A and B are shown apart, each in its own frame.
Chain A
Amino acid sequence: MTTHSHIPRVRTLVLVWLALICATGMTTGVSYVELGWMNIVVALLIAVVKASLVAWIFMGVRYTTSLTKLFVVAGLLWLGIMILLTFSDYHTRSWMYQPQPWSHGPGNGPATK
Chain B
Amino acid sequence: MATLAQRSPEVEAEEVNYLNVEHGWKSWLLTTDHKRIAVLYIISITLMFFVGGLMAVLFRINLLVPEGLFSAETYNRLFSMHGIIMVFFFLVPSIPATLANFLIPIMVGAKDLAFPRINLLSWYLYIAGALLAIYAVVRGGVDTGWTFYAPFSTTYSNSYVLAAAFGVFTAGFSSILTGLNFIVTVHKMRAPGMTWSRLPLFVWSNYATGLIQVLGTPVLAITLLLLAFERIAHVGIFDPNIGGDPILFQHLFWFYSHPAVYIMILPGMGVISEIVSCFSRKRIFGYNFVAFSSMAIAVLSFVVWGHHMFITGESMYTGLAFSILSFMVAVPSAIKVFNWTATMYKGSVSFDTPMLYAFGFIGLFTIGGLTGLHLATLGTDIATHGTYFVVAHFHYVMVGGMVMAFMGGMHFWWPKITGRMYPEAWSKFAALIVFIGFNLTFFPQFILGYLGMPRRYHAYPPEFQALNVLSSAGASILGIGYVIPMVYFIWSLKNGPRAGKNPWGAAGLEWQIQSPPTTFNFDETPVVTEEAYNYGPLEEIVG
Contact = CB atoms under 8 A, between A and B. Distances in A.
- Is there direct touching of A and B in the complex, by C-beta distance under 8 Å? yes
Interface of A: 67, 74-75, 78, 81-82, 85-86, 88-93, 95, 97
A85 B306 contact: yes
B215 A92 contact: no
B315 A82 contact: no
B247 interface: yes
A91 B251 CA distance: 14
Interface of B: 187, 215, 219, 247-248, 251-252, 255, 302-303, 305-306, 314-318, 321-322
B303 A81 contact: yes
B251 A89 contact: yes
A89 B251 CA distance: 9
B84 to A, nearest CB: 23
Nearest to A84: B303
A89 B219 contact: no
Given A78-B215, A82-B219, A86-B251, A92 B302 contact: no
19 contacts: A78-B215, A78-B302, A82-B255, A82-B302, A85-B303, A85-B305, A85-B306, A85-B321, A85-B322, A86-B251, A86-B252, A86-B255, A88-B315, A88-B318, A89-B315, A89-B318, A93-B315, A95-B315, A97-B316
Which of A74, A89, A90, A91 has the largest count of B CB atoms less than 10 A from its CB?
Answer: A89
Given A74-B215, A89-B306, A93-B315, 10 more contacts: A67-B187, A81-B303, A85-B321, A86-B248, A88-B318, A89-B314, A89-B315, A92-B316, A95-B315, A97-B316
Contacts of A67: 187
A92 B316 CA distance: 8
A89 B315 CA distance: 5
Contact of A92 (B219, B248, B251, B315): B315
A9 B251 CA distance: 45
A111 B315 CA distance: 25
Contacts of B248: 86
Nearest to B302: A81
A72 to B, nearest CB: 13
Contacts of A75: 215
B318 A92 contact: yes
A27 to B, nearest CB: 26
A86 B223 CA distance: 14
Nearest to B214: A75
Chain B binding surface, main DSSP class: helix
Contacts of B322: 85
A74 B299 CA distance: 10
Contacts of B247: 89
Given A86-B251, A89-B306, A95 B317 contact: yes
Contacts of B318: 85, 88-89, 92
B187 to A, nearest CB: 7
A97 B317 CA distance: 9
B356 to A, nearest CB: 39
B317 A92 contact: yes
Contacts of A81: 302-303
A67 B248 CA distance: 33
A90 B321 CA distance: 14
B321 A88 contact: yes
A18 B260 CA distance: 44
A111 to B, nearest CB: 14
A67 B315 CA distance: 38
A85 B258 CA distance: 14
Contacts of B303: 81, 85
A2 to B, nearest CB: 13
Contacts of A89: 247, 251, 306, 314-315, 318
A74 B219 CA distance: 15
Contacts of B317: 88, 92, 95
A86 B317 CA distance: 12
Contacts of A97: 316
A95 B319 CA distance: 13
Nearest to B183: A71
Contacts of A86: 248, 251-252, 255
A93 B303 CA distance: 19
A88 B247 CA distance: 13
B373 to A, nearest CB: 20
A86 B309 CA distance: 12
A67 B321 CA distance: 31
Contacts of B219: 82
A35 B432 CA distance: 71
A52 to B, nearest CB: 21
A85 B187 CA distance: 30
A33 to B, nearest CB: 29
Nearest to A94: B315
Contacts of A85: 303, 305-306, 318, 321-322
A24 B317 CA distance: 39
Nearest to A95: B317
A93 B322 CA distance: 15
Contacts of B252: 86
A56 B123 CA distance: 35
A81 B314 CA distance: 17
Which of A74, A78, A81 has the largest count of B CB atoms less than 10 A from its CB?
Answer: A78
A85 B305 CA distance: 10
Contacts of B215: 74-75, 78
A3 B302 CA distance: 32
Nearest to A75: B215
B243 to A, nearest CB: 13
Q: Which 6 A-B pairs have the closest CB atoms?
A: A92-B317, A92-B315, A89-B318, A93-B315, A89-B314, A86-B251
A77 to B, nearest CB: 10
A92 B303 CA distance: 17
Nearest to B256: A82
A91 B316 CA distance: 11
A34 B17 CA distance: 72
Nearest to A97: B316
Which of B219, B255, B318 has the largest count of A CB atoms less than 10 A from its CB?
Answer: B318
